[in-house]
Structure 1
Amino acid sequence: MRLYEILLVLSSLSLLLCVCLPRLIPQRFVVMISGASTVVLAMHLFMEGYRWQLYAVYVIVVLLLLLQLAKYLFKIKRINIWSPVKWVVCGLLIILIGLSTVVSAYLPVFQLPRPDGPYAVGTQTFHFTDSNREEIFTERKDDKRELIVQFWYPAAEVEQQKTEYLLASSKNMSKQVARAYAEQMGLPGFVLEYWKYVRTNSYENAKVQPTNTPYPVILISHGMGTGRMLHTSQAEHLASQGYIVVAANHTYSSTATELKDGTIAGSKTNFTVDQFYAPNNLVGQVWTKDVEFIIRQLGQLNGGQIKSTLNGKLDLNKIGVMGHSFGGATAFNAFYNNPNIKAGINMDGSLYNVDNKTKFTKPFMFMESGEYLTKKHEMETKKLTDAELADIQLTRPQYENMVRSVKKEYGIVDKVAQHGGTMVVVDGAGHYNFTDLQLYSSFTTFMGMTGDIKGERGADIVNKYVLDFFNKQLKGVGGELIKGPNPQFPEVEFPLD
């Protein structure tokens, strides 16, 4: 909880004490507590902003302040209330304050971890339109593929600047984006609106840190139905270590994408398991082409055709790619097909388009959640009954096709490991421990989205191993962590060693 939120809760309890135990609190202290509570409430609303989790506290504080004001104005020394009624009311108010405090603590205005690299982090956002591609997710005639692409980079001279907000800069946009994420999680729309108060560690349009050599580039691809926002701390961490990081929302496959015309595009992507594992996975092709298009745009940006302070600062001979879930599979697909990409990471993503992938000459790393080995063993040994298949809504041919594809995926992983690649399994991590969602609230564990590992620890492990891999492959330094087990990170296993 934020400072004034904590003070406000303490104020509400102090005011309640003045009402419940009037004989024990001298009048001068009642006046002091009332005045301090008024200041705290005003400071909280003005400096931090209200949020629904504290509505009960707001109502209680205002009512108790009005009660004290009425007693002062009408010179009422004591209000006589039948003792049982008074204690029942006080007890109920304490319970309401407690519940409000607990919800506020579990759904906090969270802070992303500060990057630990030597550079401050700047950020810029662009809208790119691929005039050579029709948009397949809309029915508008001549609609071209539009992407919103955010850059993070080493920055200089940020002392007088404020960090940017995590959500859209416009209040209306922020509300729409937060509501879209809430609905995606099956929550009422208002529940996540408090995300509008969260700031990042990035400075918008900050100057680029001067350098004699251009910075290596890393592209990030988010998971299906999420967005680049969930990889902000990963991008900031890499940028603080001397990388230019690029992440796009895959439009109409992300939770909420701000289009150039000011509208919000939601997710319109639906496909079955059969379509996922089909050799012509259409959505996968769109995402892979997004990555390829962005790389072409990087060339124009670096060459000055797109005006920016980033002109000439990108080392396009050192491009890495990483992604989570479907974005991790996209990262692998783009890595395999595009010679400009020198190294890649897949974070807990099942591969698609697994046929005819036999030549591996570049390093790749798979990062998997703790359940990976269990699922692999079950897939290789367990035969599902017709009833079990009905529960997961798969026919026998669909399931057998999925098993064949997954086994091909395991074969690809083994081949990658033989050509300078590796796999790490993070014990205790769930699927979304490879995103910033693990930092938002511990409720994600109760919802089954993240594992038992604490969010800060999970984020630290991901950031350190990602950095170590790219440092070795793109900068030729480091590489100690990805060699094998390390006592500092006992959660990390190397199952292919």
Structure 2
Amino acid sequence: MSLTGCSTPALPRSVPAAASARPSATGVPVIPAPTAGGRPVGTTTLYLKDASRPDPWVPEAEARELMVTLWYPTRASGGRRAPYMTAKESELTLRGKKVTGVPYDLLSRTRTNAYQDAEPAGRRAGLPLVVLSPGFTMPRGTLTALAEELAAGGYVVAGVDHAYENYATTFPGGRVAECVACDSDGDPGFGTKAVGVRAADVSFVLDRLTGRGARWEGSALIDASRIAMVGHSIGGASAVAAMLKDPRIRGGIDMDGTTYARIPKRGLSRPFMFMGSAGHAPGGRDNSWDRDWRLLTGWKRWVVLPGADHQSFTDVPLLAGALGLGVPGTVSAARGAEITRAYVRAFLDLHLRGEPRPLLDKPSSRYPEAELCAPERKTCE
């Protein structure tokens, strides 16, 4: 892939075993249980069709089709655990990443913590909404650990598969959309196009989850005045684009993604947080965050994990052990998930709930791997 900081490189193959999460006794990956809130988590999947626009990657498709997974609080105390992805999605993802030596359906057997199609719980207009956007070529399920954590803490979470931008999206009836965009990711202007497509996708998803166009049975539980977006890699870059397009999004987080959408000179005044690996330190090899930082005129933070890898903010390290792969960097799979959950949750609690979170104001002895950066001085501590 050619999008530095936004594409999803091939899964790593060599690193000390201690850096990877242990698979279960049956040899399948396990998503760690949520630590926030104590609420059980339910999940369901929505098929959405935007007839107002053709698909930007497949012009002969007259409508843009999306698959969205929702995670949310429930009162359910049992039931069937949700699948991580389908067997075909697992196969195409592993083939796309050139992973060999394991059954191609292995990712579909990953153990999750959410109950499939459980009834949503909460008071009317009482739950903030968080949209998650994954990295390029990666399915929405690869942000499951974060999604389940947020749902257990009282958020509705919508993970969006941006069709034709990952190795496999399964539509109703078993039809599978493969990665058409992978054929053009080296083209000039690809990043700008991709974040624009995702911004439009997110606005459409918000239309279908809130207001008169709501399509989900639990939509009445969502507080449409408290919406944020979090993304990884090009999904994080898309958080900027989506906020510029849609004022309903009150805050955003970019996890290790080079940005493309240009913030106007008047600035972006809503809360925003950058969270990345060493390559995204101030003055580092990627200057897009330095450029955008000056135009973020509201509350903002810049967090760097020097020992992290590009994928440390996703489920990929948690899957690596069962796949016989290693994870680069010095932050273990479990620790990466814990830190990502903590900082993302703190941002959302502060800006969507108004709850003070000192974690965001100074270096933390609990998470010494994470540094708060002062870009004006090109320092992090």
TM-score by length of 1: 0.66
Q: Distance in 2 between matches of 1:262 and 1:444?
A: 25
Specify the alignment match of 1:283 in structure 2. Answer: 194
Aligned partner of 1:164 in structure 2 is 82
**2:58 matches 1:138:** yes
Q: How does 1:27-106 map to 2 (within 5 A)?
A: none
2:139 and 2:167 in contact (8 A); partners too: yes
Asked if residue 465 in structure 1 is aligned to residue 343 in structure 2, the reply is yes
Counterpart Cα distance in 2 of 1:465 and 1:351: 20
**Other-structure match for 1:211:** 123
- SS at 2:302 equivalent: strand
Change (3 A) 1:111 1:410: same
Greater share of helix? 1
Q: Cα 1:194–1:444, aligned 2, differ >3 Å: closer, same or farther? A: closer
Q: In structure 2, what residue type is equivalent to 1:323?
A: G
TM-score (norm 2): 0.85
- Alignment RMSD (CA, Å): 2.5
> For structure 1, which runs of at least 5 residues remain unmatched after alignment?
1-102, 169-173, 380-405
Quick one: which of 139, 142, 149 aligns to 1:230? 142
**Helix, strand or coil for the counterpart of 2:351?**
helix
Distance 1:464 1:167, change over 3 A: same
Q: Which residue of 1 aligns with 2:166?
A: 254
Q: Where does residue 34 of structure 1 map in the other structure?
A: none
The answer as to 2:91 corresponding to 1:183 is no
CA distance in 2, matches of 1:182, 1:465: 29
Post-superposition shift, 1:408?
5.4
SS of structure 2 residue aligned to 1:332: helix
Structure 2 CA distance for partners of 1:184 and 1:477, relative to 1, 3 Å: same
1:197 partnered with 2:106: no
**Partner SS state of residue 303, structure 2:** strand
Q: 1:275 deviation in Å? A: 1.9
1:456 and 1:129 mapped to 2: Cα distance?
36
Q: Does 1:455 align with 2:333?
A: yes
In the alignment, structure 1 residue 299 sits paired with structure 2 residue 178: no
Q: Distance in 2 between matches of 1:259 and 1:346?
A: 28
- Aligned equivalent of 1:150, options 69, 72, 86: 69
Identify if the C-alpha distance between structure 1 residues 490 and 267 changes in structure 2 by more than 3 Å, giving closer, same or farther.
same
* Letter of the 1:483 counterpart: D
2:47 matches 1:127 = yes
Q: Secondary structure at the match of 1:486?
A: coil
Q: What amino acid is the match of 1:468?
A: A
Larger RCO (CA within 8 A; separation ≥ 6): 2
In structure 2, the partner of 1:359 is 267
Aligned to 2:185: 271
- Quote the residue 1:492 is aligned against: 370
Against the structure 1 CA distance between its residues 454 and 273, is the aligned structure 2 distance closer, same or farther, given a 3 Å change threshold? farther
Q: Distance in 2 between matches of 1:297 and 1:319?
A: 14
The alpha-carbon distance between structure 1 residues 189 and 335, as it changes in their structure 2 partners (threshold 3 A), is farther
Q: Is the 8 A contact 1:354 1:408 kept in 2?
A: no
Letter in 2 for 1:129: K
1:370 aligns with 2:282: no
2:27 equivalent in structure 1: 108
* Number of residue equivalences: 351
Counterparts of 1:144 and 1:190, CA distance in 2: 37
In structure 2, C-alpha distance between the alignment counterparts of 1:364 and 1:106, rounded to whole Å: 40
Amino acid at match of 1:232: T
Asked if 2 retains the 8 angstrom alpha-carbon contact of 1:225 and 1:267, the reply is: yes
